[in-house]
Structure 1
Amino acid sequence: MHPFTSLLFVLGNFATSSAIATGATCTGLNSRTTPPPGAIVVDAMGAHKGSFRTLAEGVDSLSDTKEEQTIFLYPGIYHEQVFITPLAGPLVLQGYTCNSESYDDNQVTITQAKAQRDIPLNVTGDRNWPTSTLGLAASNIKMYNLNVANTAGKIGGKVGQAVA
């Protein structure tokens, strides 16, 4: 069992992911295509040795340290809902990109579809939190080159609102 099992809650049975083909080779000063030394690696295809298939697994593997930790995500669409509770130290979530200066080149998306209508009526208080795709309760998290989406925006054929 990992030391941070209670750190992470993933709703639903298993998160699924699908890879995005990168097509072109990325090089240059602004590309972020390899994990930094010591990073926890998430790879939807499992091609990177020692990687996790989901962000949830990567978060679950975080250690209880005050040192900065990094989770690097290879290209893919990660279909999951992840909550990160307060951490002892800083966390960097870094997505694969050919150009870190433009979100247009992001190649990592974390997504799920949950809206208010999906939350039981007996849940009171904050009803937005349980609909979040990526719930960050820690104040020391930096995110780079990640798209986060909640696709549950239509309710009864009308445009609705959902928290990403």
Structure 2
Amino acid sequence: MFSIFTIISALPLAVFSLSPPSSRTTPPTGAFIVRSGTTSSSEYASLTEAVAALPSGTSAVTIFMYPGTYSEQVDITRAAVTIMGYTEDPGSYTSNQVTITAGESAGTAGSDDASGTLRLHADDIALYNIDIKNTFGSGSQAIALSNYGNQVGVYACGLYGYQDTLLAEQGLQVYLQSYIEGAVDFIFGQTAQGYFEGNTLAVSGTGCITASGRDEDNDAIYLFNHNTIIKASDATTIDYTYLGRPWSDFAQVIFLNTEVETALEAALWMEWSSSEPNTDHVVFADYNTTGSGVPSSLDRPSWATALTSSEAADYTLSSALGTTSWVDSDYLM
């Protein structure tokens, strides 16, 4: 039986049209303004200062950031915050002009979360056109975005790291039209219900794209639809790339309609380790995986699945998240 999803997934990407604003170069009325080097009493020189100035409560607030590189670690614990970066093309991460950067490692900071350049510990947060970087490099977990929020949307942002770039830990989360770069388990977490669409996943070194830590049969999932996997422009030697490996025994990761431009291993999926495979209860599956990086002869392990079109149709934005009214549909394909 064919669903609308099945029909759409068979069409070329060109039939889809995003509808974000044509530009975002001035702050909305009432926004808190961040501008590098500002001396104005009505503006803030860093995101940290703007976040500290937000009123208490849960009324919706907006922070607008002017172009610049902001060297800081920021922890947002106030709900209902939207952060917008200056851009002349809100629909594309390639035009982003705002960067938040730090270089903390988990070994020094004390935990994965504490190493995060931007840390979200509140609900109902939206990020637009912000590049978030952890520049530590290889040798330790080092998080760019640590996301513990519920109903968090990340739109046309850039996330840059090496090991554990994105901690998608809990709650409902969407990542749309963004760029996520890393090498080792660079999208990971435990109980989040995460939906990823229209993103560029850039591999910068040997490793696995995902590491799901789902440790029981619950709703946690990473669902990828219409994403592109590439080799990062600054990539080191890449010995292998897999779609994912199971951090815990109930890992659940689905890739649909993926265009692959850098070489994947024939198995697509990897055990956690030879001594601790974590494969007894995993749900690892893909559908319509295409492109020059897909081996001519795939050899999926017995615990991974190639979905049929009808099976793939069961995995949608709504099936992953349940409620979706909070998602900015202008960034959906």
Instruction: Give how far 1:66 is off.
Output: 2.7
1:91 aligned onto 2:81: yes
Aligned to 2:112: 128
Is the contact made by 2:73 and 2:118 (CA closer than 8 Å) also made in structure 1? yes
Structure of higher RCO (CA pairs closer than 8 Å, 6+ residues apart): 1
**CA offsets per residue over residues 52-72 of structure 1, 9 Å max, x none?**
000000000100133210000
What is the SS of the residue equivalent to 1:163? coil
CA distance in 2, matches of 1:86, 1:59: 8
**Are 1:117 and 2:97 an aligned pair?**
no
Q: Which residue of 2 aligns with 1:36?
A: 28
The aligned residue for residue 142 of structure 1 is 126
Listed one character per residue, the Cα deviations across residues 44-95 of structure 1 (whole Å, up to 9, x for unaligned) are: 03166611000000000100133210000000000000111143xx110000
1:12 alignment partner in structure 2? none
Q: Which runs of 5+ in 1 are unaligned?
A: 1-28
**Unaligned residue ranges in structure 2 (runs of 5+):** 1-20, 145-333
Q: Which has the higher strand share?
A: 2
Partners of 1:73 and 1:131 lie apart in 2 by 23
Instruction: Please give the root-mean-square deviation of Cα atoms over the aligned residues, in Å.
Output: 1.6
TM-score normalised by L of structure 1 = 0.70
Give the corresponding residue for 1:60.
52
CA deviation digits over 1:21-41, x for unaligned, max 9? xxxxxxxx5111110000000
Where in structure 1 do 4 or more consecutive aligned residues deviate above 6 Å? none
Indicate whether 1:162 and 2:142 are aligned: yes
Q: CA deviation at 1:116?
A: 2.3
Structure 2: distance between partners of 1:49 and 1:81: 23
Q: Which of structures 1 and 2 has the bigger CA Rg?
A: 2
Whole-angstrom CA distance in 2 between matches of 1:151 and 1:47 = 28
Q: Per the alignment, in what secondary structure is the counterpart of residue 127 of structure 2? A: strand
CA distance in 2 between partners of 1:129 and 1:37 (Å): 33
For 1:136 and 1:142, the matched residues in 2 are separated by 10
Relative to structure 2, which stretch is displaced further, 110-119 or 141-150?
110-119
